[in-house]
Every structure is written in structure tokens, then in C-alpha cells.
């Protein structure tokens, strides 16, 4: 049993007010990849409704993504026995995309993985292959779905992932008849298939930050079109929006709210949850879990297909088992890749456009 110091903190300065308290958390599940080390933990907290009244387009997306349940969510009864307040959370960015490779601003344009990205997804999946996932959440973008599906091919529990159309809350229950049929087929497979299954839900709240008019441009092209000083301002700000785009603050609103409303309750049930999303979305969720400041969030660089793992006891999240990335071809641990949240906070590099 690992003993970790727990810092209960109200979160980053996106949230008003705060208090800090230190205690010790007993982590029931020992770290199997490396020895546990002291890690910050964050108390699950309410999200002030008034704190993002100015979020604009992002607020609309948020309301649509986390509105009241339309139909009963499809959650199969797990094969294994659940232990209350012992859920494990794994966060993973998608593998390298074709626009990542070309160093273009991607945002919420639906760009697929490169061959390297596919290999990264296989390596990330191998790193978390000994976790029996009960539920998977991704964005609606193909590169996140690809990464999750590819990663699950490495899982030793041989659970077969199935995409449940309409998302967790059953959106899209009207209109396209085939969409309804596919949702029904997924529900039947989760209940009756002669193998272990795991549902995968795609939600727009986990989509990458929209870069608006920057999307598809290189950094050089963006500077040429908008000016170096303007682009520098966008890069160093958490609350400034590019033309027709979102700020990092907007992304924080929708992604963290969805995490609190939809993902956290699954962890409270004792389920193991895999979340595959994007650099900015995971920046926001990690900042919420780790209590990072605005500046620290801007410094946080989330590595492609590298798993970040937490345990949850119903009150606190503990970063206690950060898995080393695995080279899929050699089946050996990759060297030189940063492990843990603190190791990817790059000093002197503030950039909200990643």
C-alpha cells in the first residue's frame, strides 16, 4: 500500500476563492510500473455556474454536451466486481496526426493519424494493457477514436471496444435511422456478446480547442497573415480567442464541466475509465486535477499517446502510477520521454497554441 501526501486545493485561478489542506492518502492499488512518489491530489469540487457566463460559443457547446440525459445511458454490468471509490483514470492524448507532422494548427479539424501516430497508439495501449477498463470516453474527432481503438488491441483483458452512437447521453436519438440502429446494435452487443466488451462514447465536450482562422496554417503563415505581435499575444494568453476560435479558458469550461458531470461519477462507481482526447483538453483536465495555476497550464505540454494515470477514492485524485511509454516495435521502454505531470512543465515556454 502506497502512502501519498494529498494536497487538497480549490484548483487553478480559473475558479474563485480557495483553501489548502494537507493530509495523507492510502492508495490501495500499488504502482506496478514504478515506485510511487509524492504527488499532488485535488479534491472533487463544484464548478461555480457564474464563473464562465462570458464563455460565448464554448458555453453553447458546453450546455449541449452536458444537458440532462435524454435516454438512459448504455453502461453494461462489468464482469469483475467493482470496488467503491477505487476507480482508476487514464488520460491519453491521441497519437501524432498528419497535421501534427506538418506542424500546422489543427484545432477541431478532423485529421487522421500518421503511421507514427498509429505506432504511438499501440505503444500507449501496451503501457496500460494491465488495466481492465470499464468505459472509454473520446472526442468526436477521428484521431482520438483511432487512438483509443488501436490502444485497446493491446489490452490483456481482451475487451472489445464498441462505439456507442449518440454518446453517453443518447444524443442523435432522432433523425438518421441508421444512427439509431447502430446505437441499438451496440447496446445489444454489450449485453449479449460472447466476449468481454467495453463501451466507447464520443462527446464534443472533449473536442480539441477550435483555433478558428488559424486552423490549417503553419506558424510562419499565421505570423504573415496576422502579425507577429498578435500571434505572440494569442500564444501567451489563456483567455484570448483567435478569430472565430476558442480561448484556452473556453476549452477549460466545457471539458472540465463534462469531466465533473459525466466522468467523475463513473469513477465514483469504482469503474476504470480511459479518456482519449487532445492536447488542450487534457491540459485543462490535468490542471483541474493537479491544481495548476494559469501559467503552469500554459507551460504544460501533453505528449502524444503517453498515458497519465490517477486513482480516485471518491474524494481525491492521486497521480500515483504514471506508466512509461513503450516502443511497440522493440517492446521496450522508450528513453528520454518525460514521466509525470511535473516533468512536462517546461520552464520558459508559455504557449497556449499547441
**Candidates 9, 94, 238, 257; catalytic one:** 94
245 in a known ligand binding site: no
* Whole-number percent of the chain with pLDDT over 90: 53
Q: Given this model, what pLDDT does residue 167 score?
A: 92
Q: Please give the Cα distance from 345 to 112 (Å, whole number).
A: 27
User: Angle at which helices 142-152 and 115-127 pack, to 10 degrees?
Assistant: 50
Average pLDDT over residues 305-334: 77
* Cβ pair 65, 254 in contact under 8 A: yes
Average pLDDT over residues 225-238: 91
**Candidates 50, 64, 184, 208; catalytic one:** 208
pLDDT at 323 over 80: no
Q: Which residue has the cell 503501457?
A: 127
Q: Please give the Cα distance from 247 to 260 (Å, whole number).
A: 20
pLDDT at 135 over 80: yes
Question: Residue 114 — very low, low, confident or very high, per pLDDT cuts 50/70/90?
Answer: very high
Query: 169 is written with which cell numbers?
Result: 447521453
Phi-psi region of 319 (alpha: psi -120 to 50; beta: other; left: phi over 0): beta
165 in a known ligand binding site: no
Q: Please give the Cα distance from 339 to 307 (Å, whole number).
A: 9
208 in a known ligand binding site: yes
Q: Which residue has the cell 482519449?
A: 276
43 in a known ligand binding site: no
9 in a known ligand binding site: no
348 in a known ligand binding site: no
For residues 333 and 231, the model is more confident at: 231
Q: Please give the Cα distance from 292 to 300 (Å, whole number).
A: 9
Average pLDDT over residues 314-320: 81
Average pLDDT over residues 180-184: 90
107 in a known ligand binding site: yes
pLDDT at 286 over 50: yes
Residue 208 annotated in active site:
yes
* C-alpha atoms less than 13 angstroms from C-alpha of 317 in its C-beta half-sphere: 27
Nearest to 41 by CA among 1, 10, 13: 10
pLDDT in tens, 158-173: 999 999 999 998 865 5
Q: How far is CA 34 from the centre of its chain?
A: 22
Nearest to 117 by CA among 90, 89, 149, 157: 149
Query: 184 is written with which cell numbers?
Result: 441499438
Domains of the chain and any CATH numbers: 2-344 (3.40.50.1240)
219 in a known ligand binding site: yes
Please return the burial class of 299, using the count of CB atoms within 10 Å of its CB with bins 0-12, 13-18 and 19+: middle
Query: Which segment of 34-38, 133-137, 193-197, 242-246 scores lowest on mean pLDDT?
Result: 34-38
pLDDT in tens, 17-69: 333 333 333 333 333 332 233 333 332 333 333 333 333 444 344 444 444 43
Residue 192 annotated in active site:
no
Question: Residue 233 — very low, low, confident or very high, per pLDDT cuts 50/70/90?
Answer: confident
Q: Given this model, what pLDDT does residue 193 score?
A: 97
93 in a known ligand binding site: yes
* Whole-number percent of the chain with pLDDT over 70: 66
Q: What is the DSSP string of 196-220?
A: -EEEEEE-GGGSPPP-GGGTT-BHH
pLDDT at 100 over 60: yes
69 DSSP assignment: P
Amino acid at each position: 500500500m502506497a502512502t501519498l501526501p494529498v494536497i487538497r486545493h480549490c484548483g487553478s485561478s480559473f475558479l474563485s476563492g480557495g483553501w489548502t489542506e494537507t493530509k495523507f492518502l492510502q492508495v490501495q492499488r500499488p504502482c506496478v510500473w514504478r515506485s510511487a512518489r509524492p504527488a499532488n491530489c485535488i479534491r472533487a469540487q463544484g464548478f461555480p455556474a457564474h464563473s464562465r457566463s462570458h464563455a460565448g460559443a464554448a458555453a453553447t457547446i458546453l450546455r449541449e454536451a452536458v444537458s440532462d440525459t435524454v435516454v438512459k445511458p448504455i453502461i453494461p454490468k462489468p464482469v469483475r466486481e467493482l470496488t467503491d471509490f477505487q476507480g482508476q483514470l487514464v488520460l491519453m492524448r491521441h497519437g501524432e496526426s498528419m497535421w501534427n507532422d506538418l506542424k500546422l494548427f489543427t484545432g477541431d479539424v478532423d485529421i487522421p493519424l500518421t503511421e507514427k501516430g498509429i505506432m504511438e497508439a499501440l505503444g500507449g495501449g501496451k503501457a496500460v494493457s494491465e488495466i481492465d477498463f470499464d468505459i472509454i470516453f473520446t472526442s468526436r474527432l477521428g484521431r482520438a477514436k483511432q487512438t483509443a481503438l488501436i490502444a485497446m488491441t493491446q489490452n490483456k483483458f481482451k475487451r472489445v471496444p464498441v462505439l456507442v452512437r449518440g454518446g453517453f447521453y443518447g444524443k442523435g436519438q432522432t433523425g438518421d435511422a441508421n444512427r439509431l440502429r447502430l446505437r441499438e446494435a451496440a447496446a445489444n452487443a454489450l449485453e449479449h456478446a460472447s466476449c468481454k466488451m467495453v463501451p466507447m462514447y464520443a462527446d464534443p465536450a472533449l473536442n480539441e480547442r477550435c483555433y478558428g482562422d488559424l486552423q490549417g496554417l503553419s506558424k510562419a503563415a499565421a505570423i504573415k497573415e496576422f502579425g507577429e505581435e498578435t500571434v505572440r499575444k494569442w500564444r501567451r494568453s489563456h483567455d484570448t480567442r483567435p478569430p472565430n476560435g476558442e480561448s484556452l479558458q473556453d476549452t477549460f469550461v466545457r471539458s472540465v464541466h463534462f469531466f465533473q458531470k459525466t466522468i467523475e461519477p463513473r469513477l465514483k462507481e469504482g469503474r476504470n475509465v480511459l479518456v482519449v482526447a487532445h492536447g488542450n483538453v487534457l491540459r485543462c483536465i490535468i490542471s483541474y486535477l493537479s491544481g495548476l495555476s494559469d501559467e503552469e497550464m500554459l507551460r504544460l505540454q501533453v505528449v502524444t499517446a503517453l498515458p497519465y494515470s490517477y486513482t480516485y477514492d471518491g474524494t481525491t485524485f492521486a497521480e500515483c502510477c504514471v506508466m512509461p511509454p513503450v516502443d511497440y516495435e522493440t517492446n521496450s521502454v522508450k528513453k528520454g520521454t518525460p514521466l509525470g505531470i511535473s516533468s512536462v512543465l517546461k520552464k520558459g515556454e508559455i504557449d497556449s497554441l499547441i
